[in-house]
């Protein structure tokens, strides 16, 4: 089963530490349909390890697909979706959620400074490579079985290991505070939800402008300022993302094209190549060998800005 729920809204999540502990651990291996993979934020820093499975990582402005698991560190109050978004069963993940204040070290400790730097970088979202995930997975699994001070020491060990790691990518070029999407939130949510429900049909931009209670020129200006891309660009990128998910379910290229609102297969192929840097055929071939990792070419996905 594939989970493609709406991640257009952002909500606050209250994190309660485990009993007799200063932080929280989660082990999810139930069917993905049993969870809500919403776009949310919380003060706790979060380490997400996808043990196995494919899906979408959506951290701050960044959105891309992962395969064969994932390992990402997400900073305090950075909006993100649950990593079961757009995933297929079986999906297994281990999640650690902790506040920075539980990590107190003497200033003289060099390792303490490296962890502090790690947590600063986490505000951009840090994607660690598979090699790092493989090394840390045994400690993360041991964390699930440990209690008391042993859990805390394991958390420190994991953070020390990550702070020394050089094999990583920052997911965002800018830090996205959760407050950045508060202005015009309702209007944007209405637009995004409309696209989500009608992406497989012809979308008339004038109808969307009316939905936003704006004239067509005002709507185009509003959307470009809010997201840094045109509305047409947004719709095309949304459709291509959906097409990737359908291809992963063995749907043919032409079926994907028409199911995602493209009435012309040639145009679909051109848009697919533009956003994934692969042809649909290359994507299917790579996916069948579990090598595909689609990162949309357009820089930083959608940047919702305030102040317009």
Q: Which domain CATH number covers 222?
A: 1.10.10.60
Question: DSSP assignment of the chain, as one string?
Answer: -B------SEEE----PPTTSSSEEEEE-S-GGGS---EEE-SSEEEEEEEE--EEEEETTEEEEE-S-EEEEE-TT--EE-TTTT-BSS-EEEEEEE-GGG----TT-HHHHHHHHHHHHGGG-EEE-HHHHHHHHHHHHHHHH--THHHHHHHHHHHHHHHH---EEES-SS---GGGGTTTHHHHHHHHHHHHHHTTS---HHHHHHHTT--HHHHHHHHHHHHSS-HHHHHHHHHHHHHHHHHTTT--HHHHHHHTT-S-HHHHHHHHHHHHSS-HHHHHHHHHTT----B-SSTTS-------
Is the confidence at residue 62, as pLDDT, over 60?
yes
Is the confidence at residue 297, as pLDDT, over 80?
no
Is the confidence at residue 292, as pLDDT, over 60?
no
Q: Is the pTM of this model over 0.75?
A: no
User: What's the structural domain count of the chain?
Assistant: 2
| CB-based contact 244:283 (threshold 8 Å) | yes
Same domain, 17 and 75: yes
Is the confidence at residue 129, as pLDDT, over 80?
yes
Same domain, 187 and 166: no
Is the confidence at residue 233, as pLDDT, over 60?
yes
Is the confidence at residue 117, as pLDDT, over 80?
yes
Q: pLDDT at position 220, please? A: 94
Mean pLDDT in residue range 288-300: 46
Q: pLDDT at position 36, please? A: 67
Confidence band of 299 (pLDDT split at 50, 70, 90): very low
Is the confidence at residue 273, as pLDDT, over 80?
yes
pLDDT tens track for 2-61: 333 344 566 788 999 999 999 999 999 888 777 666 778 899 999 999 998 888 888 987
Same domain, 128 and 217: no
Confidence band of 187 (pLDDT split at 50, 70, 90): confident
Same domain, 95 and 190: no
| 1 within a domain of the structure (yes/no) | no
Q: pLDDT at position 295, please? A: 46
Same domain, 126 and 254: no
Is the confidence at residue 171, as pLDDT, over 80?
yes
Q: Tell which of 138, 170, 202 closes a domain.
A: 170
**β-strand pairing of 62-66 with 55-59:** antiparallel
Same domain, 145 and 218: no
Same domain, 132 and 264: no
Same domain, 157 and 268: no
Poorest-pLDDT segment among 107-111, 200-204, 285-289, 293-297: 293-297
Confidence band of 139 (pLDDT split at 50, 70, 90): very high
Mean pLDDT in residue range 85-111: 86
Same domain, 19 and 145: yes
Q: pLDDT at position 189, please? A: 79
Confidence band of 302 (pLDDT split at 50, 70, 90): very low
Confidence band of 73 (pLDDT split at 50, 70, 90): very high
| 81 within a domain of the structure (yes/no) | yes
| 299 within a domain of the structure (yes/no) | no
| 304 within a domain of the structure (yes/no) | no
Is the confidence at residue 108, as pLDDT, over 90?
no
Mean pLDDT computed over every residue of the chain: 84
| 308 within a domain of the structure (yes/no) | no
Count of Cβ atoms closer than 10 Å to residue 30 Cβ = 13
Same domain, 196 and 136: no
Same domain, 144 and 199: no
Q: pLDDT at position 183, please? A: 65
Q: Tell which of 145, 170, 195 closes a domain.
A: 170
| 176 within a domain of the structure (yes/no) | no
Choose between 220 and 33: higher pLDDT.
Answer: 220
Mean pLDDT in residue range 153-162: 96
What percent of the chain clears pLDDT 90, i.e. is strictly above it? 50
CATH code for the domain of 54: 2.60.120.10
Confidence band of 293 (pLDDT split at 50, 70, 90): very low
| 243 within a domain of the structure (yes/no) | yes
| 112 within a domain of the structure (yes/no) | yes
For residue 157, the enclosing domain spans 10-170
Same domain, 36 and 144: yes
Confidence band of 224 (pLDDT split at 50, 70, 90): confident
């Amino acid at each position: 089963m594939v989970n493609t729920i709406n991640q257009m809204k952002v909500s606050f999540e209250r994190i309660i530490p485990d009993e007799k502990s200063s932080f929280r651990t989660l082990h999810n291996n139930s069917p993905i349909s049993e969870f809500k993979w919403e776009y949310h934020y919380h003060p706790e820093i979060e380490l997400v390890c996808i043990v196995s499975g494919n899906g979408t990582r959506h951290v701050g402005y960044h959105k891309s697909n992962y395969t064969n698991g994932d390992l990402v560190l997400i900073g305090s109050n950075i909006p993100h979706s649950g990593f079961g978004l757009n995933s297929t069963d079986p999906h297994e993940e281990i999640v650690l959620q902790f506040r920075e204040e539980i990590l107190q070290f003497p200033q003289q400790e060099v390792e303490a400074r490296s962890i502090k730097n790690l947590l600063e970088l986490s505000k951009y979202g840090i994607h660690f490579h598979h090699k790092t995930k493989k090394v840390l997975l045994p400690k993360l699994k041991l964390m699930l079985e440990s209690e008391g001070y042993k859990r805390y020491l394991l958390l420190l060990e994991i953070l020390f290991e990550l702070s020394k790691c050089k094999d990583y990518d920052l997911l965002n070029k800018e830090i996205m505070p959760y407050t950045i999407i508060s202005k015009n939130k309702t209007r944007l949510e209405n637009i995004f939800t409309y696209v989500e429900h009608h992406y497989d049909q012809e979308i008339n931009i004038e109808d969307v402008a009316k939905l936003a209670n704006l004239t067509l020129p005002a709507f185009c200006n509003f959307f470009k300022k809010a997201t840094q891309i045109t509305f047409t660009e947004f719709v095309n990128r949304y459709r291509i993302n959906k097409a990737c998910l359908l291809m992963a379910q063995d749907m043919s290229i032409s079926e994907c094209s028409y199911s995602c609102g493209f009435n012309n297969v040639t145009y679909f192929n051109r848009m697919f190549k533009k956003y994934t840097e692969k042809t649909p055929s290359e994507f299917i071939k790579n996916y069948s060998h579990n090598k595909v990792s689609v990162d949309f070419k357009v820089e930083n996905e959608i940047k919702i800005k305030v102040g317009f």
